[in-house]
Amino acid sequence: MWSSPISYEAKEFAVIIRESLEILNYVFVRDSTSKTYSRFVVIIPMMGGAHVYRYTVEYPSSFVIQIYDTHPGTKAGLMPFIEINSIVEENRRDVKRLLDEVVSRFQRPPWEFTSGQRLMVGYLLPEFRAARKAWAQLGYDTSRKASRKRRKEEKAKWKLERTGREEENVKVKEIKGEKKREPAKELSGPDGKGKGPNEKDL
């Protein structure tokens, strides 16, 4: 079984999985189940329960995807997981194709966690490293160097989009300013056309 922590809530990730399956024309059955997992509260092991979003793919190859949320410590800390029952030679290409589509639809890769997420569940938990390792097994570049490069590109893209929006706003303001300007009044001449100028205007 292939399993990995992910940085998006199970419900959100499940929606992207379903939409990606539909885009790729995979034949699948969607259902839900539940599962138990172990969590620690003040170093005392306790059992927790999770709602599982399950997708049984039947074509172009067979595999089962399960997505669920866990709470390793307190209820405030959230650690979602994705599981694929079996990745073998027969379905590896189709699994990778699906995950490529899923990853492309997120702004941040599912193996990258924000500082806020790390603080909520425990900054030094092994799950963060496990996520990078699991996705690397499927051929993804999960190195810190790749993460820094990706963030740099996203920042540059954001700046470019912001500059474009600012330029567009300036153009709109200029257009609105021109519309507010009233044309100069034309005074009729001695040919008798129009009312002619008032004495106050002379």
Q: How many domains does the chain have?
A: 2
Do the domain assignments include residue 19? yes
pLDDT given for residue 199 in this prediction: 47
Length of the chain: 202
Dihedral pair phi/psi, residue 156, rounded to 5°: -65, -40
Beta bridge partners of 67: 53, 82
Dihedral pair phi/psi, residue 46, rounded to 5°: -135, 155
pLDDT given for residue 154 in this prediction: 77
Element (H, E) at 102: helix 92-104
CA dihedral 123, 77, 155, 99 (to 10 degrees): 100
Same domain as 8, residue 37: yes
Would you give per-residue pLDDT tens digits along the chain (202 residues)?
A: 999 999 999 999 999 999 999 999 999 999 998 887 665 544 445 556 789 999 999 999 999 999 999 987 666 678 999 999 999 999 999 999 999 999 999 989 999 999 988 888 887 889 999 999 999 999 999 998 988 888 788 778 777 877 876 667 666 666 666 655 555 555 455 555 555 555 444 4
Same domain as 95, residue 171: no
- DSSP single-letter state for residue 156: H
pLDDT given for residue 159 in this prediction: 78
Same domain as 61, residue 32: yes
Same domain as 100, residue 42: yes
Q: Which whole-number Å values give the CA distances from 139 to 98, 99, 108, 178, 189, in the listed order? A: 13, 11, 17, 56, 84
Q: What is the DSSP string of 16-78?
A: HHHHHHHHTT-EEEEEEEEEEEEEEETTEEEEEEEEEEEEEEEESS-EEEEEEEE-SSSTT--
Do the domain assignments include residue 85? yes
Alpha-carbon gap, residue 132 to 137, rounded angstroms: 9
pLDDT given for residue 148 in this prediction: 85
Same domain as 165, residue 84: no
What lies within 8 Å, CB to CB, of 112 at 6+ separation is 7, 147
pLDDT given for residue 144 in this prediction: 87
Bridge-based pairing of strands 2-5 and 27-41 is unpaired
Alpha-carbon gap, residue 164 to 170, rounded angstroms: 10
Same domain as 167, residue 137: no
Helix (H, G, I), strand (E, B), or coil: what is residue 172?
helix
Residue 73's domain spans which residues?
Answer: 2-142
Same domain as 101, residue 75: yes
Same domain as 91, residue 56: yes
Do the domain assignments include residue 198? no
What predicted TM-score, i.e. pTM, was given to this entire model? Answer: 0.72
